[in-house]
Amino acid sequence: MTTSLNRNIAPPIKQPELPKIMPNSIKRNHEITVFDISENEEISRFDIIFNIGKLHENKAGILKIVNSTILSGTSEKTEAEVNDSLDMLGIYHSIEQSLYETTITIFGTNALIKDAIPILIDAVFNASFPSDKINNAVKKAIAGLEQNKEKTSYLAKTLLNEIFYATKSIKNETTKEDFMAINQAELYEYYHQVFLKSSFYIIKPASVDLEKLHLPENTTIALGINKSYHFTRNIVPHTHIQKNDAVQTSIRGRCIAIGRQDMDYPILQLANTIWGGFFGALLMKNIREEKGLTYGISSYLSPNFDQGTIELSADISINNIDLVLSEIKKEIENLHQNTFDLDIFLKAKNYLLGNIAKSYDEIFANLEKYKLIYSEELPENYHQTYFESIKNCTLEKMTAVAKKYIRFDLFSFVTCGPEKQ
């Protein structure tokens, strides 16, 4: 006998749990801080993370050019020889710069990455910065900058940075003149006196013997690791930048919030998810799915060490600016007063929990979790606590945190687009 299928009834579900098996086993050892990754996949990764970022530039743009040219050869090897050696081993590399870190990463198969690590270490710690490579990097950086200046999204974000930050190195975007003023002597001095004297830490495959890597002594703290920055505390409710050749208007909003070290952070993450952090959020439901005014509107938390902001972005037609701003305000009020479909609370919570659980399936996302604990000086059980805080959060607790941080009167908005029709 067969029973007919009732498609109106959803299958039973369970609230997502943290996976019991975490595929990466990472342990910290040695005098130099080193994280060993177990090799349970075909591919592995090696990172050198210098405690130096945009916050530590003594001249605008100088770290960006160091990072663009650091693999351009040593006194004994040309750029082509360095890159030939890495390419032959099938290595991909990337160099990323945040406010307070520079991460140099290589990916390779487990069989070949061991041979690539010494090549990378030699190139990074003995870089020679030929002047023609610096010139190429400067020209490329200027070209990228000029292109960005044609983007409404970039112009809006640049002005927000100027409004928000008091710390000079992150307040103003690097200009064409800044890049042009960078010369080989200054760059070389910055590399030796600042970059290499910042401390570093390592993430390596467990089977790679640290003693055989010939790492230079970690001279640490010559620079001091300053990870904090200052806000102006200015709030400019709405500024419009007119760009007459634009066919759409970028809207970018920001308010000061908190970093991961704050106890409220996981709850704020949940509150923000409900407001604008996922496809089922109040902003997306209203402004995209009900009114069709944008391809996407989203808000997200941008934490850096012990501080952070809430960011909002959307791209819309110029004539809808006032309407969209008023709907953003309305959805904050709905969030504060719980005048929204309360089912969204459960959806957002389980969406976040499922997302965290899934990230443990991905070896490199999993690795980032461990890295974060170290770089942001978080407790060892941070991710478990984060998960449990969201899981156990009540509507009342979420609302209280939302009222404290997600407030329309704390936001500054910049729009950039053509003149109103």
Establish if 41 lies at the interface with another protein (CB under 8 A). Answer: yes
Closer CB to another protein, residue 16 or residue 308?
Answer: 16
- On whether the CB atoms of residues 50 and 102 are closer than 8 A, the answer is yes
Tell which positions 245-284 bind another protein, by CB under 8 A. Answer: 245-248, 278-280
Q: State whether the Cα torsion 275-279-285-291 is positive or negative.
A: positive
- Give the orientation angle of helix 265-272 with respect to helix 395-405, to 10 degrees: 90
User: Footprint of another protein on residues 121-140 (CB under 8 A)?
Assistant: 132, 136, 139-140
CA distances from 232 to 44, 171, 387, 414 (A): 42, 10, 33, 16
Q: Please identify, among the stretches 28-36, 80-88, 184-192, 328-336, the one whose residues bind another protein according to the rule CB under 8 A.
A: 80-88
**7 binds another protein per the rule CB under 8 A:** yes
Shorter beta-carbon distance to another protein: residue 18 or 235: 18
Q: How far is the CB of 346 from another protein (least distance, A)?
A: 6
19 binds another protein (CB under 8 A): yes
User: Closer to another protein at the Cβ: 32 or 181?
Assistant: 181
Phi, psi of 235 (to 5 degrees): -120, 120
Of the pair 255, 353, the CB lying nearest another protein is at 353
CA dihedral sign of residues 259, 265, 270, 271: negative
- Binding to another protein in span 226-245, by CB under 8 A: 245
Q: Which is nearer to another protein, 53 or 73 (CB)?
A: 73
Phi-psi category of 31—alpha, beta or left, where left has phi over 0 and alpha has psi -120 to 50? alpha
Three-state SS at 400: helix
| Phi/psi at 252 (5° precision) | -130, 130
| 409 binds another protein, rule: CB under 8 A | no
The interface with another protein within residues 342-371 (CB under 8 A) comprises 343, 346-348, 350-351, 353-355, 357-358, 360-364
Say if residue 276 is exposed, middle or buried (CB neighbours under 10 Å; 0-12, 13-18, 19+): buried
- Let me know if 236 is exposed, middle or buried by CB neighbors in 10 A (0-12, 13-18, 19+): middle
Binding piece for another protein, criterion CB under 8 A, among 85-93, 232-240, 398-406, 407-415:
85-93
Residue 345 and residue 398 in contact, taking contact as beta carbons nearer than 8 Å: yes
Q: Within positions 149 to 188, which residues make up the interface with another protein, using CB under 8 A? A: 149-152
Choosing from 47, 173, 311, 315, the residue that interacts with another protein (CB under 8 A) is 315
Nearest to another protein of 129, 229 (CB atom): 129
- 222 interacts with another protein by CB under 8 A: no
